[in-house]
Structure 1
Amino acid sequence: MASASTAIGLLAIAVQLGVPVQGGAQERTGPLGTDAPVTGVRAPAAPAAPASVRVDGPYGSRLDPSALEWVARTERALTLEQKVAQLVVAYLEGGHPRDGSARWRRARRLVLEERVGGFIVGVGPTRGTATWLNELQSLSEVPLLVTADLEWGPGTRLRGATVLPINMALAAAGPADVAYEAGRITALEARAAGIHMAFAPVADVNVNPENPVINTRSYGSDPAEVSRRVVAFIRGARSAGLLTVVKHFPGHGDTETDSHLAMPVLDVDRFRLDEVELAPFRAAIGAGVDGVMTAHLAVPALDPQERPRPATLSPPILTDLLRRDLRFPGLVVTDALHMDGVKGQGRTGEVAVAALKAGADVLLIPPDEAEAIDAVVRAVRRGELSEARIDASVRRVLMAKAAAGLDASRDVNTAMLAERVGRRDHEEWSRRVAERSITLVRGERGALPVSRPGPVGAGRSLRRPEPSRHGRGVRGRAGAPGRPGGDGAPVEGLRGGGSRPGPSPGPLVGPDAVRQLLPGGAVERRARAAG
């Protein structure tokens, strides 16, 4: 049982950090590999507070007194410029660059001169990436928060790691337990390689068959089913020490524009938003998700403007809705600021300031990191942003780092990578799920709707004949790569391949997406089995 002085100390630190305090405490533990503890995610170093004391929020219940003290001490030591830099997460190519190369010099500059708060890792070999991250961590005064887009599991970014079926296939394969295991496997391998936070799961409800950017990245078109799987993934990832960021708030599932290329407009009323788009985010917040990623799309029902602005830059969406109405206390992360869906709103510095004013905490991939930092510092000095506002975001970033165990340890054991990443049991589980996910859209007369006769994996398109309950229906233009398939005549189904009649998990699936659904050529094997 913790002493009274320990409890008082925890309360004092929490008050200093501005964190609400309620009842119960938890330890920061989790497996890595088979039974080993996650590197850097440890049991409390000091006695836990009594059951009547708990720091609230997605991180608070996982932080012991020593971690909270580290957060407060680290924040006090930072200058204004260093605080602002903690809010920047820059892009880092995967793998280990050649010493002295442009990549090598850039990454070192970002750590040693700009002092960024973290990186989002691109594609590269697992060992090279982990080795390079260890080196950069050793150079950084404050531990780096390492993030990655891991929607297809750890193999999304780490070569040699397990590649999982995409979300819509996970939903087709079975109950929410499948998403839990996907989260757990992702966490085990990502943490082993030095990644602390996944920009996953996708909480978008894909009700628009013309959606060019979400589509099979979604768990489906039913808000309740999507919510269940979002929560399951979060819990699975947390069980092995990985922080999660749900995306793309307030919902990107009913758009026909790719926000990488332009700013979409989600033109639906507030009732519909509450019923469909917001439901999975509400569930994720209830499950204690660590972060929420914003969408570069305008929502007139939430923020009516003569010149539409994306949710990323919208105080009514990020502060009024997300923080106040949904009571989200964790990190608000912008989607990548180099995307065209937000770049048109101003210069790098202007967008960075606007995002923080709207309620964001983390500036993800600003086109020019130094310009973003300088612009925010100038905004504070002229009174456009308060330093207290910056402090609140810095505190959340540091608490996330402590929740990942970075106050205790920041490097990973690269000698164990072969044992922990790309494990045979993980690969086999992924393959079994991929096989199970192959589902007949309709079981009538054994037919599988496709665009034209031929193997499913060879440029043909699956389509979902029945309309979505929440969307506009499903008939779309026919099957250009990456787009939903159209009104093709059904052909004979996959005879003898073990496919089972069942409901579609969501809207249309285009030919490129089909190949993404199933790793290891499962589609092609099934097509060959059909004769």
Structure 2
Amino acid sequence: MKSIKYLRPALIVTAIFFIQNAFAQKADFIAGINQQNRWVDSVYKKMSRKERIGQLFYIRAHTNKGKKYEDSVAAVIRDEHVGGLVFFQGGPVRHANLINVYQKQTKVPLLIAMDGEWGLGMRLDSSVSYPYQMTLGAIQDNNLIYKMGQMVAYDFKRLGMHINFAPDMDVNNNPNNPVINYRSFGDNKYNVAQKGIAYFKGMQDAGIIVFAKHFPGHGDTNVDSHFALPQLPFTRARLDSLEEYPFREAIAAGVSGVMIAHLNIPALDTTKNLPSTLSRKIVTGILKDSLGFKGIVASDAMEMQGVVKNFPNGEADVRAFLAGNDLIELSVNSQNGAKLILKAIRKNKIPKAEFEAKIKKLLAAKYWVGLSNYKPATPANLIPDINRPAAAELIQQLADASVTVLKGTAPVLRQNPLKKTAIISIGVDRPSVFEMELSKWYANSMIFLVGKSTSLTDLNRMLQTLKGFDQLYVSIHDSRTRPGSKLDFSSDVKYLVAALAAKPNVVTSVFANPYTIAGLPGLEKSAGIIVGYQKDDAMQRSAVKVITGLMKPTGKLPVSVNMFFPTGAGVSF
């Protein structure tokens, strides 16, 4: 027993040291990758041309596709000398173990990347999901967002990862955007820039390479570039003043990377059907030369139809390379793409100095994250570590800071705790956290559940029952994994929302994408309206805190919903 007693303080000290080290501020990335480096020069000198070209490619990796798939990835790492991996679905322990295995397949350590806009939970099971960026857009204290960046970076490093393809710095000024939407901080370019900088600085200061995306701006599109090529038909002046603004600010703030979108933009390059990813005028002429970006430029996924539909069989890869991209993400056929790039180099389609600078920049990024002294990740205690209490506490703080009151005063929201109260959740099939928490404050209350497609007969029966209640609390829930701009409720259920809002003494809370409010005519008649932005338990607890007076609301609407609720709307009391 004594030996255990003495061992515990040592373990605590070790854990504290690891966390402090993870959050310690790193040296400036841009300066670091653009200065001469002995390790970089030494590694570069020992590489063949094929190995150097391989450093451009970052290929897909999963831990939910079985051993055969995992072995095929290992073979590509060995044969093509790729620069890094982009991990997708799976589990954190499996990821950490497989990353360790893959790192043994190569002479030059791999940079490991993932899309983690809201943390590991965006891709992995058993992991923390922080709020979506649109939820963060409502927060007035950007220090909380910086702190979230630090926490996300800690989680990435804990698994042995080095790159987060985040934040999304698109200005989402199209409510029907099918691919950005809630992934954006909102439709105000200044807010998007400030929030994006706070988030990426938190991650970058903690030692993670980040990529602001999707340059020059994917926010005002109604086409998903995964399936087709969207077009931005705007003038150069509009693009300069709106879409590019957050990226200019991010560059000035020292962002380490920028990801290029697959967009056709005639005002910037008149070549028909040419995605911005493949345009030297855009990648090199605007981003690198005009805006002076000296970090790493990454393509968006090169397997997306927005880019390969018109440029198949490796043509997209070589064009992206010649356009100025430093990192080619998720090529359909990296082996074929590498051959075409080698041919382009031999034909002097790119200056030798430019090619060398690209590869050395990527190697310098590896040095910056510590891969010159590579150490494998430790899978032991990984799940409890990334799901630590501090993460849950921060998620609740972020929810508290984002919850927004669009209508009502403190007395209107609180109503009378002694009166007969109906607490109604719509879009759920079991009592919600909102209902369970709120019912503790209203002793004379009854809970009602309404599904997405509850029959008109049942809805009318409920409306009759509600006549016997003095006051109503209505909560609207989007149970889908990704919160769309329109709720998938039946027309009868949407009618119910309007009918309830028209009653006196009704407070409505919306735990869904804020754009959904526009598709619920009559909701604005509610005596009180609260926006919780997403379905998460933390958001529901925050709304209850505001209703019961435990917390003052500070959130502001990050997008314009309709004439009643414009960007910046939000009541404070």
Normalised to the residue count of structure 2, the TM-score between the two structures is 0.71
Distance of 2:77 and 2:209 partners within structure 1:
22
Residue in structure 2 matching 1:517, options 525, 534, 538? 534
After superposition, the Cα gap between the structure-2 partners of 1:93 and 1:248, relative to the gap in structure 1 and judged at 3 Å, is same
> Residue 58 of structure 1 corresponds to which residue in structure 2?
29
CA RMSD of aligned residues (A): 4.0
**Superposed CA offset, 1:234-258 (max 9, x none):** 1111232111111000000111111
Distance of 1:508 and 1:458 partners within structure 2:
9
Distance of 1:185 and 1:172 partners within structure 2:
20
After superposition, the Cα gap between the structure-2 partners of 1:478 and 1:218, relative to the gap in structure 1 and judged at 3 Å, is closer
Distance of 1:42 and 1:422 partners within structure 2:
20
Q: Does 1:297 align with 2:293?
A: no
Q: Does 1:377 align with 2:346?
A: no
- Asked if the contact 1:40/1:409 (under 8 Å) is kept, the reply is no
**Superposed CA offset, 1:324-366 (max 9, x none):** 1110011100000010110112124211110011110111000
Matches within 5 A, 1:446-461: 455-458=475-478
Gaps of 5+ in 1: 1-30, 45-53, 464-475
> Residue 141 of structure 2 corresponds to which residue in structure 1?
175
1:382 Cα offset (Å): 2.8
Give 2:188's aligned amino acid: D
> Residue 200 of structure 2 corresponds to which residue in structure 1?
234
Distance of 1:413 and 1:59 partners within structure 2:
29
After superposition, the Cα gap between the structure-2 partners of 1:292 and 1:521, relative to the gap in structure 1 and judged at 3 Å, is same
Residue in structure 1 matching 2:57, options 74, 81, 88? 88
Residue in structure 2 matching 1:282, options 233, 244, 248? 248
1:413 Cα offset (Å): 2.2
> Residue 303 of structure 2 corresponds to which residue in structure 1?
338
> Residue 18 of structure 2 corresponds to which residue in structure 1?
36
- Asked if the contact 2:135/2:533 (under 8 Å) is kept, the reply is no
> Residue 78 of structure 2 corresponds to which residue in structure 1?
112
- Asked if the contact 1:438/1:499 (under 8 Å) is kept, the reply is no
After superposition, the Cα gap between the structure-2 partners of 1:349 and 1:176, relative to the gap in structure 1 and judged at 3 Å, is same
After superposition, the Cα gap between the structure-2 partners of 1:517 and 1:479, relative to the gap in structure 1 and judged at 3 Å, is closer
Residue in structure 2 matching 1:127, options 87, 93, 104? 93
After superposition, the Cα gap between the structure-2 partners of 1:405 and 1:506, relative to the gap in structure 1 and judged at 3 Å, is farther
- Asked if the contact 2:485/2:516 (under 8 Å) is kept, the reply is no
- Asked if the contact 2:24/2:206 (under 8 Å) is kept, the reply is no
Distance of 2:321 and 2:364 partners within structure 1:
18
**Superposed CA offset, 1:73-101 (max 9, x none):** 11111111111110000000036x75xx3
Query: Secondary structure at 2:310's aligned position in 1?
Result: coil
Gaps of 5+ in 2: 1-12, 414-425, 428-451, 453-458, 460-473, 520-530, 548-573
After superposition, the Cα gap between the structure-2 partners of 1:35 and 1:315, relative to the gap in structure 1 and judged at 3 Å, is same
Aligned residues: 460
Distance of 1:185 and 1:165 partners within structure 2:
13
Distance of 2:248 and 2:80 partners within structure 1:
36
**Superposed CA offset, 1:402-426 (max 9, x none):** 1111112242222252453111111
> Residue 150 of structure 1 corresponds to which residue in structure 2?
116
| Structure 1 stretch displaced more, 296-305 or 321-330 | 296-305
| Structure 1 stretch displaced more, 248-257 or 108-117 | 108-117
Query: Secondary structure at 2:59's aligned position in 1?
Result: strand
Distance of 1:313 and 1:169 partners within structure 2:
33
> Residue 349 of structure 1 corresponds to which residue in structure 2?
314
Residue in structure 1 matching 2:367, options 381, 402, 405? 402
Residue in structure 1 matching 2:163, options 174, 189, 197? 197
> Residue 356 of structure 2 corresponds to which residue in structure 1?
391
Structure ID, larger Rg: 2
Query: Secondary structure at 2:258's aligned position in 1?
Result: strand
1:275 Cα offset (Å): 1.7
Q: Does 1:136 align with 2:102?
A: yes
1:38 Cα offset (Å): 7.8
Identity %: 30
Distance of 1:32 and 1:247 partners within structure 2:
36
After superposition, the Cα gap between the structure-2 partners of 1:38 and 1:32, relative to the gap in structure 1 and judged at 3 Å, is farther
Query: Secondary structure at 2:228's aligned position in 1?
Result: coil
**Superposed CA offset, 1:473-501 (max 9, x none):** xxx995459xxxx998595499899979x
Q: Does 1:328 align with 2:345?
A: no
Matches within 5 A, 1:201-280: 201-280=167-246
After superposition, the Cα gap between the structure-2 partners of 1:404 and 1:362, relative to the gap in structure 1 and judged at 3 Å, is same
Query: Secondary structure at 1:301's aligned position in 2?
Result: coil
After superposition, the Cα gap between the structure-2 partners of 1:412 and 1:327, relative to the gap in structure 1 and judged at 3 Å, is same
Higher relative contact order (CA 8 A, sep 6+): 1
Distance of 2:404 and 2:245 partners within structure 1:
26
1:135 Cα offset (Å): 1.2
